[in-house]
Amino acid sequence: MKITAIRCRNLTGLLASDGPFWEERLGRPIDVYPEFRAEGEQQLEMVRAGLYRTRSTFLEIDTDSGVTGLWGPLGEELGRLIVSSLAHVLIGRDPRANELLWDLVYRASVHGRKGTTVMALSAVDNALWDIRGKWAGAPVYRLLGGATREQIPAYASMLGYAVEPEQAAARAAEFKARGYRAQKWFFRAVPADGPEGIRRNVALVRAVREAIGPDDELMLDCWMSWDLRYARTMAEQIAEYHPRWIEEPTLPDKYDTCAEIRRAVPFPVANGEHEYTRWGFLKLLQAGAQDVIQPDVSWAGGLSEAIKIAALASAYDVEVIPHGHQTHTNAHFLASQPPALCPWLEYLDKWNTIHQFFIKDKLVPVNGFVVPPQSPGIGIELDGDAIESEEVFS
């Protein structure tokens, strides 16, 4: 079996929403600057009331056996990087040789050891796993070692929902009623918002905790926007609400600062969504910067690398709970790993409405659990009825 062609498909479709799709955004590192702090949430392009235009890119890899690997969505810029700079390394190679192909692309891209190049490599790796599963006639989790459980508990990741206390409490109660026993909420206020911002953040935590009760898990995402002093101040205010963790309290390269925050706060710290490859995660683990690592299987190097990252984490007794960018791929990874090491799947409710818009068989938690796809490969097929128009490039 040989790889014969690599192409990307830019898809456009119309997404329906009862109201504004994005209700609120999260606080960002760049919000230290007033002109950026004043920005609202970037909205989808509205076609008319309740109807938005959405776009996604999917990668296809053909083989001479007739098996085509499909993976996405990925950013268009990643797709163009793949076809312009990575494809020549792959054409003519056996797609089943995952270690060889990963190493070839990595060695051919030494100036792209993090960021967009590794994200592009991740897309390629995941599409190749789709080929291997289809070739073997088995879901990918079986090729990764077999299932450790029949279903995976999911936590609701609430990015994009309003964070005003009354609205957040109502939404949190709604998701609890759907069967979720864990939720993650995103802070809007950042250190530059001062004491008033702290009060708003604390009000959000209080409202959600009261809505979900004392026994459900509550995670809180800082999205790289805090520092050590602010983390200490916030910890004093929210410790009584028993967060399961605070996430990404500082910028990704500040390993030592994150480790200091972990030592300073009385609850766990999660980190690693914006880290890449086993070597990046080894630095995090060696620094003792977190209790939970969160590699994104779509960004950190693909399924091949996620397995290595999980093995590293197990040696450090640190949980692995991947960032929830691509639910089908994450479900295969998690299904193959021990539950004690990888206990949850993150389900980004609003983002997955977008990310799965063009996917025929959507993977959505039911009563707070996800069942891994059972079809050969990763289990994604494009829904022709959702496609308004498309552009193919190779």
The fold of the 142-383 domain, in CATH, is TIM Barrel (3.20.20)
Backbone angles phi, psi at 173, to 5 degrees: -65, -35
* Each residue's pLDDT tens digit, 84-127: 999 999 999 999 999 999 999 999 998 999 999 999 999 999 99
* Each residue's pLDDT tens digit, 259-313: 999 999 999 999 999 999 999 999 999 999 999 999 999 999 999 999 999 999 9
Assess contact for 61 and 82: CB atoms under 8 A: no
Strands (E), the chain: 3-16, 45-48, 51-63, 68-74, 152-157, 182-186, 217-221, 245-247, 269-271, 292-293, 319-320, 345-348, 369-370, 389-393
Residue 17 pLDDT: 93
Residue 43 pLDDT: 85
SS3 219: strand
Residues involved in catalysis: 323
In this prediction, what percent of the chain has a pLDDT beyond 70? 100
How high does pLDDT run on average in the chain?
97
Regarding pTM above 0.95, the answer is yes
Q: Hey, where are the domains in the chain? A: 142-383
Determine the Cα–Cα distance for residues 178 and 161; give it in Å rounded to an integer. 16
Report the C-alpha dihedral over residues 30, 291, 318, 72, rounded to 10 degrees. Answer: -30
Assess contact for 335 and 374: CB atoms under 8 A: no
**pLDDT-flagged residues of the chain (< 50):** none
